[in-house]
Structure 1
Amino acid sequence: MTVAKGATLLSKPTGTGLAAFTPRKVMDQPVGEELERAMTPTPRTRGKDDTVALTVRLPRAEWERLHQRAVTEGTRIQQRAVRGLSRLFTDKGLPGLE
């Protein structure tokens, strides 16, 4: 293969994916106090309050059915979900959700 005078060959990327386009960061090894601070667990930040968020994934068609039903009844999907989960408990003879 010949290269025009003054032109350079591009080297083949060594990595794959998006990481190949970002510069590598060299991490220094923490020493002394830094090492101790790095090893200390951080306090929990999620799920501490009285209300905890929950994500539910549905196929779009199922979400549309659920959404339409909630709109028809004048409720929210949240209310329907809690009502359904509560019913699972009560059907087993356990106290329902509040």
Structure 2
Amino acid sequence: MEVVCGDTAKKNMTDMLAAHQALQAKQQAQELQIQQINEQLLYAANRESLHWQNRPNTVPDLTPVLNDPQQSDAVLDKLITLTSQVGYASRTFS
């Protein structure tokens, strides 16, 4: 009986060690996956930051357009159209 208990204890220890090693491997895989996701997020954030850094900070000079009656009317018509659509959309979705 004593030998059987010893063998059972050894098997239980072996099973527990295998389960522990499997859990460690799973944790390492998850940590690697988290690290890869973090690297992808950092890359995307850097790319987005560069995109905004490379945009011009100046507003285009609209003086020539606004001084020309035909062009200024077209610009005003476009602004009215765009703002009325935004107003409609905000009333529709609120």
TM-score band, normalised by the shorter chain?
Answer: under 0.3
Superposition TM-score, scaled by structure 1 size:
0.20
Determine which structure has the larger helix proportion and give its number.
Answer: 2
Ranked by relative contact order (alpha carbons within 8 Å, sequence separation 6 or more), the top structure is 1
TM-score between both structures, scaled by the size of structure 2: 0.21
